[in-house]
Amino acid sequence: MAKQYSEGHEWIEVEDGIATIGVTDFAQQRMGDVVFVELPEPGAAIEQGEEVAVIESVKAASEVFAPLSGEILDVNTNLTDNPALINEAAEEDGWMVKIRLSQESQLEKLMTAEAYEQFCAQ
Amino acid sequence: MSISEKTDTSLKATALLDLHQELGAKMVPFAGYSMPVQYAPGILGEHRFVRSSAGIFDISHMQQATLEGPGAIAFLEKITACEVQNLTHGKYSYTQILNDKGGIIDDMMITKWPGRDDKIYIVNNAASADKVNAYVERHLSTDTKMLPITDRGMIAVQGPKAHRLLADCADMTFLQWRDTTVLGTQCYVSRSGYTGEDGFELSLHNDDIAGFVKKLLAHKDDIMMIGLGARDSLRLEAGMCLYGQDLDEETTPIEADLLWSVGKRRRTKGGFLGADIVQRQIAEGVMRKRVGIIVHDRAPARAGAQIVPKDGGDSIGVVRSGCFSPTLEKPILMGYVDINHVKPETQLGIAVRGKILPAEVTKLPFVSHKYQR
């Protein structure tokens, strides 16, 4: 299924009810060099709009808010030793969490790649 | 996450604005100016390049001025605890303007103009300029004037390769200051800086700056432009204060561990605003002190985070500047800590997002200075 995007600058890729989520390339460019990523515990429940991660760049800490509700299945532990993955490959190897979705209807509010591009150009 | 980008057309521009934009710099508002926070390499890359090679910083936002008149030296000795009377001409000196409580109004560099006892060159922080000018006006006597210099900008050239690229200055020793010609351009140059590296700070006519910088940038493999982001992490690694974060009007030079900048004669003779408090603190000690702290974790601690005892408990201090150190590859910070917990190797905790990060007091600077004395 094609990647979708949120107004909070996250990308979401869904397969069999599991969403892989990260921050977009647009977001990582704005943040600058990432030096630390705080990720949630697998097994935790997360609500749409709740803080799910924190990205520390050289300049500031940015909270990442969950675009969807569900249960955290997995987190990208590579980001512990290599937080720069978010700068190098935000939308591929820099993925942050995998969530088993509890409300798939929430997907309807997300944007396509084209719509996100327009959103960023505003 | 939220990302906001404001464009403010009322910002002032330095003479290098066009160059910053040509190089694709990320510009931010800073002290009323549009300034580059980073260029293409990014903050970490720029920081590392200064330590290994050389970098150019646009510091034209800083306020340059002269204090002129027969009362200039006496005036400066009234508002700072600096040894100005016996200061060698052409020696660049670090000091702070004090209020009557010994609190710091701004920190600055000064030098007595070569051959003159009635002219002193001063450089203040951009963000403090209005406050400093108003304070100076209030305390000036009629025989002294403060004259802002508006037709010149400043750059810093810092790093181990700096002296090779500015061969005209290579014979200068640390903190020497000259009114001279460098690369065929008239400038005031000092062997000084805000990074801990060997390097120079140059004041040039606004019309000359871009051309001068481009001459240096032609040495592509040796030097690059550096933004404010890396400027901040470099100065923090060097243990240097940033006014507004590490220093403010509620902090004295003694609490800030800047006794070394208080002239020896001034410590005993006084005669400056706030002298009674500063002298008492020298004699009796202070309740809190600025220290360097290394965090034994990966999460950076930022200004405002509380410092607590190692196993938790009530706050014993606060973080004033913090960043990830590219050289040490650990988070570092400076903060003010209760005087009973300031010895190097004291184990502490930093409260960040509900967790206590293990940390320890360390001697400053975090990265040793490379000054050419």
What DSSP string describes B267-321?
A: HHH--STTHHHHHHHHHH--SEEEEEEEESSSS---TTPEEEETT--S--EEEEE
Mean pLDDT of B122-149: 94
- pLDDT the model gives residue B7: 55
Q: Which residues contact B354 (CB under 8 A, 6 or more apart)?
A: none
Separation of alpha carbons A66 and A110, rounded Å: 12
Ramachandran region, residue B331 (left: φ > 0; alpha: ψ -120 to 50; beta: rest): beta
Q: What residue of A is the nearest CA neighbor of B329?
A: A35
- Residues B302, A8: C-beta atoms closer than 8 Å: no
Query: Which tens digit of pLDDT belongs to each residue from B149-180?
Result: 999 999 999 999 999 999 999 999 999 999 99
- Residues B298, A80: C-beta atoms closer than 8 Å: yes
- Residues A10, B1: C-beta atoms closer than 8 Å: yes
For residue B106, give Cα distances in angstroms to B82, B137, B301. Answer: 13, 15, 25
Q: What are the residues facing A34 on neighbouring strands?
A: A57
Peptide bond into A67 cis (omega under 30): no
Query: Which tens digit of pLDDT belongs to each residue from A25-81?
Result: 999 999 999 999 999 999 999 999 999 999 999 888 899 999 999 999 999 999 999
Query: What are residue B78's phi and psi, to 5 degrees?
Result: -80, -40
| pTM of the full structure | 0.92
- pLDDT the model gives residue B2: 60
Residue B49, CB-side half-sphere exposure with 13 Å CA sphere: 24
- pLDDT the model gives residue A1: 72
Does residue B28 contact residue B20 with C-beta atoms inside 8 Å? no
- pLDDT the model gives residue B8: 60
- Residues A64, B43: C-beta atoms closer than 8 Å: no
| Chain A residues contacting B via beta carbons under 8 Å | 8-10, 23, 26-27, 30-33, 35-36, 38, 54-56, 58-65, 80, 83, 87
Separation of alpha carbons A45 and A40, rounded Å: 10
- Residues A38, B3: C-beta atoms closer than 8 Å: no
Query: Which tens digit of pLDDT belongs to each residue from B187-240?
Result: 999 999 999 999 999 999 999 999 999 999 999 999 999 999 999 999 999 999
Does residue B23 contact residue B58 with C-beta atoms inside 8 Å? no
- Residues from chain B contacting residue A65 (CB–CB below 8 Å): 1
Residue among B42, B298, B302 minimizing CB distance to A32 = B42
Q: Tally A–B CB contacts below 8 A.
A: 58
- Residues B43, A58: C-beta atoms closer than 8 Å: yes
- pLDDT the model gives residue B14: 96
Interface confidence (ipTM) of the complex:
0.79
Q: What residue of A is the nearest CA neighbor of B299?
A: A36
- Tell me the percentage of chain B whose pLDDT exceeds 90: 94
Query: Which tens digit of pLDDT belongs to each residue from B330-368?
Result: 999 999 999 999 999 999 999 998 899 999 999 999 999
Q: What are the residues facing B185 on neighbouring strands?
A: B182
Residue A119 has pLDDT above 60, yes or no: yes
Residue B5 has pLDDT above 90, yes or no: no
Does residue B85 contact residue B140 with C-beta atoms inside 8 Å? no
What confidence category does residue A122 fall into, taking pLDDT thresholds of 50, 70 and 90? Answer: confident
Best of A9, A59, A62 to disrupt the B interface by mutation (most B CBs within 10 Å)? A59
| Chain B residues contacting A via beta carbons under 8 Å | 1-3, 5, 26, 37-38, 42-45, 229, 233, 298-300, 302, 323-324, 331, 353
- The angle subtended at Cα B270 by Cα B266 and Cα B272, nearest 5°, is 100
Residue B258 has pLDDT above 60, yes or no: yes
Strands B355-362 and B317-325: unpaired
Mean pLDDT of B319-336: 96
- pLDDT the model gives residue A59: 81
Question: What residue type is assigned to position A114 of the chain?
Answer: E
Residue A15 has pLDDT above 60, yes or no: yes
- pLDDT the model gives residue A58: 87
Separation of alpha carbons B107 and B125, rounded Å: 7
Question: What residue type is assigned to position B223 of the chain?
Answer: I
Query: What are residue B91's phi and psi, to 5 degrees?
Result: -110, 120
On average, the pLDDT of chain B sits at 95
Residue B6 has pLDDT above 60, yes or no: no
- Residues from chain B contacting residue A35 (CB–CB below 8 Å): 44, 298, 300, 324
- Residues B233, A63: C-beta atoms closer than 8 Å: no
Separation of alpha carbons B63 and B76, rounded Å: 17
Q: Which residues contact B290 (CB under 8 A, 6 or more apart)?
A: B241, B246, B255, B256, B257, B320, B334, B335, B336
- The token duo for A56 is 């520390």
Q: What are the residues facing B153 on neighbouring strands?
A: B204
Start-to-end Cα distance in chain A: 26
Residue B54, CB-side half-sphere exposure with 13 Å CA sphere: 25
Does residue B189 contact residue B178 with C-beta atoms inside 8 Å? yes
- Tell me the percentage of chain A whose pLDDT exceeds 90: 92
Residue B4 has pLDDT above 80, yes or no: no
Query: Which tens digit of pLDDT belongs to each residue from B19-44?
Result: 999 999 999 999 999 999 999 999 99
Separation of alpha carbons A39 and A52, rounded Å: 7
Separation of alpha carbons B96 and A5, rounded Å: 51
- Residues A58, B299: C-beta atoms closer than 8 Å: no
Among B2-11, B103-112, B156-165, B332-341, where is mean pLDDT lowest? B2-11
On average, the pLDDT of chain A sits at 95
Burial tier of B22 (Cβ tally within 10 Å: 0-12, 13-18, 19+):
exposed
